Amino acid sequence: MMRSVARWALAALLLAAGASHLTWGRRGYRIVVPDWAADLLRTDKDTIVVASGVVELMLGGALVALPAEQRRVGWVVAAFFVAVFPGNVHQWRTRRPAPMLRTDRARFIRLLLQPPLVAWALWSTAGRADSGR
């Protein structure tokens, strides 16, 4: 039961984050995408923001819609959180504001939250969907 609640809460977080990347926060997120990421992916920063928002929506939906695959989805969510971490570090180092991250303190706390997000993704999806573990 506890893992199911945690999994649904994580899904809600991902869905909200994805929606913000596609709507009200889109411009703010563009300014914190590192130049090297756009160069590496051979695209523009807006495309990266939109793609990450779409991925967040898909992952949030998968956490809810694919209970038989929850363990795999959990690993993918954890990997996503690891993959976006360099961008969070870049944002902190360059002191660039983004939605809800306007101060150095907020950006630093965001860095500290990344490992718990990874753990949350793995723990909340570790049990079988029908066992409630």
Quote the number of domains for the chain.
1
User: Taking CA 11 as the corner, what is the angle to CA 87 and CA 32, rounded to the nearest 5 degrees?
Assistant: 15
Range of the domain at 39: 2-124
pLDDT for residue 59: 98
Name 127's Cβ contacts closer than 8 Å, sequence gap at least 6. 3, 133
Residues 93-108 have pLDDT tens digits of 888 877 678 888 988 9
User: Is 130 within a domain?
Assistant: no
Residues 32-68 have pLDDT tens digits of 889 999 999 999 999 999 999 999 999 999 999 999 9
User: Is 106 within a domain?
Assistant: yes
pTM for the model stands at 0.87
